[in-house]
Chains A and B, each alone.
Chain A
Amino acid sequence: MTAAETEQKGWLGRSVKRKEDSRFIVGRGNYIEDITLPGMLYMSILRSPFAHATINSIDTSRAAELPGVVAVVTGELLAEHNLAWMPTLSGDTQAVLATDKVRMQGQEVACVIAEDPYVAHDALELIDVDYDPLPVVTTPQAALEDDAPLIRDDKEEQADNRVYHWEAGDAEATDQAFAEADRVVELVTHYPRCHPAPLECCGCVADVNPATGKATIYMTSQAPHAHRTVFALVAGLPEQNIQIISPDIGGGFGNKVPVYPGYVVATAASLLLGRPVKWIEDRTGNLISTGFARDFYMDGKLALSEDGTMMGLRVNMLSDQGYAFADAQPSKFKAGLFHIVTGSYAIPAAHVVTEGAYTNKAPGGVAYRCSFRVTEASYFIERLVQTAAYELGIDPAELRRKNFIPPEDFPYTSATGFEYDSGNYEAALDQALERVGYRELREEQKLARAEGRLLGIGLASFTEVVGAGPSRQYDILGIKMFDSAELRVHPTGKAILKLGVKSQGQGHETTFAQIVAHELGIPPEDVTVQEGDTDNTPYGLGTYASRSTPTAGAATSVAARKVRDKARKLAAHLLEAAEDDLEWSEGKFSVKGAPDRAKTIQEIAFAAYTDHPEGMEAGLEAVNYYDPPNMTYPFGTYAVVVEVDRGTGRWDVKKVVAVDDCGTRINPMIVEGQIMGGLTEGFGTAAMELITFDESGNCIGSNFTDYLLPTSWETPSFELGETVTPSPHHPIGAKGVGESATVGSPAAFVNAVIDALAHAGIRNVDMPLTPDKVWGALNEAGLAE
């Protein structure tokens, strides 16, 4: 295939309006709660009020007698079927329903199955649980003290609360760099616990057919194929008898990657009762028990020469894992992807120590529009670089520029072992500085300070690592992280594309149809994209970690090219020409030098079923399981301008400029939508989102009146810019983008606030930067009014 043939111009880079909108704008989406089956029962979950307690007894008799209640399920019943515990994504264990103890507030203790959802809820109040409260551990620091109560006493090999201790990079080379450095700059900060909080909570409808044994489970799943495999392994059900259907999903952000107890109990109950069982989580259940995000304590040092050249980086990280280790954990990258902590900079030596501890909190750490620990690492380096700029008296933009990995050094191998595919960091920085008016702003800042006003300009020049992955390095529970596409062109030239990933709002039905259009000339409206049904799509690992375009997007391109290869053979037959004499352009093959002798892809598709040559299989379809040769490394520079009020600590965002480079943009409208959504969540993280706990382990942040999310009123407007540095290894040069803004923007917002206060010596305020905390810092520095 020639280069010209792969360049089917016209459909890449076009802001095609979304196909999926038509059902959502008329209220005809099909979300989990919209699914109703004949004879369906409803499940409610009783949760622990205590963060740590021994369960002496659970008396369900009064609940069971309530009219309308069909069954009450406890851990004891599940234990009889070896289902009381289940594996997490990182191979630890988590209770389905508590048997011995509860280890977090909100832990699942019992489930009621009833004819009516209100009755199921009523019955929870009739379950009597006798608890003996135990001492509670609410921080990872306390968890690692010698006399800390042992949280996972159920695990024989577990003698303390340490979950892991992993290192990456080269300790000796880093020590050497620090010994030779002129300056060492330190930052100690906490990336607080927050929650992805998709607007739709989790839920499922489990339907085990007693006659056939087939389990059809409709669930809020970002990874239906992986979940089917987990169900098969956990429940011992034959995998071909499990069908996971993930319908329209009301946002995910990683919250719908793990398997939660509710799914397992509903499925077990349906198996037991022979009727469909629906479980819809309430918001409090979602916030207190499902996959939280972040909660990393980070302490790091940057070694520099006097002129600002970065020489070495050392970071210690301690994470609060909750009572089970449930991160999505590539087994060959023990520090998660925290290695990306060297960011966009050519730092020759780095060493990272990561530790995790059990506490009496919900497990999680999977994500919030990015993790594998990329978010925390990126935040840390961008904050540390800004700190170094102040300490060395170098402009933060210039310190970054001086240390960027130069464009000619790609592919670049970082000190912690990643091979960055492509980048041009200075171009993104320059554009951001230009758009925000950086030089003028620095002048304005001086004038403002002279007037006693606090103006701040924050930058973040992030680099992400997304698109897992090369399967030799990335897996979840041993399942390798490839993805897949199956493309079938029907006789009338209309196509169905089936994918192993699953959209939660990312617009796959439009974007992936555009890839087919680009490769084959079949317009997007003639390509239906199907996802989320394990019996009807090829195996894949799902949608999270910005991986759909890098993996399934690439698979779509490759599958379409296979179809085109067969189409060439068919065209040669139809045109009575040699294959080599044909050329491809704009959706048709024509005879070289005789453009009138041509067959369109639609004519060729018809012939594939009606007039294919002897010896050729009928049909026009292809499958590809795409194993990417590398991750993709999207990047960008964000610039934020704020003014801080000295009387209240409130900060107003004056301007946000976001310059992103995600390689080739398939649908710029959708890409920009992803970026604006991520910026909004990044702003929320920086400004207000916080899941915290009191000393008894009570979760503060268990509903949307305590866990604050940004609304249209607080959220600033964003100005977007782009540079395009294609990924050299992706078939159409695209990189993942869904999470760039959540990764890059929190540091930019915080750096802006710190920049407003830096002249008074302030270097850090931990997120979220609520007015009271900022005022506290102002007060300490003598800036408060």
Chain B
Amino acid sequence: MITEANQATREITVTVNGQEHSLEVEPRLLLAHFLREKLGLTGTHVGCDTTSCGACTVLVDGVPIKSCTHFAVQVDGREVKTVEGLAQGGELHPIQRGFHEEHGLQCGFCTPGMMLVSAALLEENPDPSEEEIRWALSGNICRCTGYQNIVKAVQWAANETKEQA
């Protein structure tokens, strides 16, 4: 029974998509729920509850983590990026455009997690091979689209970034 913990909230300060938030939270509050319920950032989806599907993936200090099994208190003092923070200054991130151009999404439920993992990959490796892309995405499940067009979307974004550079 965990209800006694209700009283024992903790204050955390976290920067989400560039904006700092200080909030009182229960220690057991999951990061996914913190983002969705406390900050209203509903682009982060929960698909499996067991760190398997990756729909809830967000970036913590630039590293993809699955927010359905991460506590909000674990991101105290850190920087979180969600799908809502991908576009900058009204400009879509190349990975967002890549998913649109290459039909990398159907129902859209896995898309935020897929895009964040891809964005982190491209940050680290701007010119990944197909194998490297497939490995990077292998913690994220898509049911509608399959993976071929998602791989192409990442390649599209890589090419676009190269051309801009």
Contact = CB atoms under 8 A, between A and B. Distances in A.
Nearest to B151: A712
Interface string B2-18: 11000000000000000
A118 B33 CA distance: 10
A106 to B, nearest CB: 15
A580 B133 CA distance: 60
B146 A715 contact: yes
B75 interface: no
A21 B105 contact: yes
Contact of A17 (B29, B100, B135): B100
A201 B48 CA distance: 8
Contacts of B49: 282-284, 703
B143 interface: yes
Contacts of A29: 43, 108-109
A199 B148 contact: no
Contacts of A717: 148
B23 interface: no
A26 B46 contact: no
Contacts of A715: 146-148
Nearest to B99: A25
A14 to B, nearest CB: 13
Interface in B70-107: 82-84, 86-87, 92, 96, 99-101, 103, 105-107
A31 B45 contact: yes
A718 interface: yes
Given A27-B112, A703-B50, A199 B86 contact: no
Contacts of A122: 1-3
Contacts of B109: 29, 31, 198-200, 250-251
A27 B36 CA distance: 11
A711 B111 CA distance: 14
B48 A25 contact: no
B97 to A, nearest CB: 8
Nearest to A119: B3
A679 interface: yes
Interface residues of B, number: 59
Given A17-B101, A199-B53, A712-B134, A681 B143 contact: yes
B50 to A, nearest CB: 5
B65 interface: no
B47 A676 contact: no
A680 B151 CA distance: 14
Nearest to A253: B143
Contacts of A20: 108
Interface stretch (A503-511, A519-527, A606-614): A503-511
A672 B87 CA distance: 28
Contact of A676 (B44, B101, B140, B145): B145
A198 B47 CA distance: 9
Interface residues on A, range: 35 or more
A249 interface: yes
Nearest to B50: A703
Interface string A684-722: 000000000000000000011100010111010110000
A663 B18 CA distance: 50
A33 B42 contact: yes
B138 A200 contact: no
Main secondary structure of the interface of B (DSSP, over half): loop
A125 B103 contact: no
B139 interface: yes
B50 A705 contact: yes
A21 B48 contact: no
A659 to B, nearest CB: 16
Given A33-B45, A282-B49, A283-B48, A26 B86 contact: yes
A284 B43 CA distance: 22
B106 A26 contact: no
Interface string A175-202: 0000000000000000000000111110
B146 A711 contact: no
A283 B44 CA distance: 16
B138 A24 contact: no
B159 interface: no
Contacts of B143: 197-199, 251, 253, 677, 681, 709
Contacts of B46: 33
Q: Which of A22, A23, A704 has the most CB of B within 10 A?
A: A704
A704 B82 contact: no
Given A200-B109, A713-B135, A704 B103 contact: no
Interface in A221-276: 248-251, 253
Contacts of A677: 106, 143-146
Contact of A712 (B28, B43, B55, B147): B147
A24 B42 CA distance: 11
Nearest to A248: B108
A28 B43 CA distance: 6
B118 to A, nearest CB: 11
A34 B47 contact: no
Given A21-B100, A27-B112, A251-B109, A713 B43 contact: no
Interface string B40-65: 01111111111011010000000000
B149 A676 contact: yes
A260 to B, nearest CB: 18
A66 B3 contact: yes
B99 A21 contact: yes
Interface in A624-646: none
Nearest to A121: B2
A704 B108 contact: no
Interface pairs A-B: 9 shortest CB-CB:
A27-B43, A24-B108, A505-B107, A250-B109, A680-B146, A704-B52, A505-B106, A27-B83, A713-B138
13 contacts: A21-B108, A22-B100, A24-B105, A28-B43, A118-B2, A122-B3, A199-B45, A250-B45, A505-B108, A507-B106, A680-B146, A715-B147, A718-B146
Interface of A: 17-18, 20-29, 31, 33-34, 66-67, 117-119, 122, 125-126, 197-201, 248-251, 253, 282-284, 504-507, 669-670, 672-673, 676-677, 679-681, 703-705, 709, 711-713, 715, 717-718
Given A17-B101, A705-B50, A711-B147, 10 more contacts: A25-B115, A26-B86, A31-B109, A67-B3, A197-B143, A199-B143, A248-B107, A248-B108, A251-B144, A704-B50
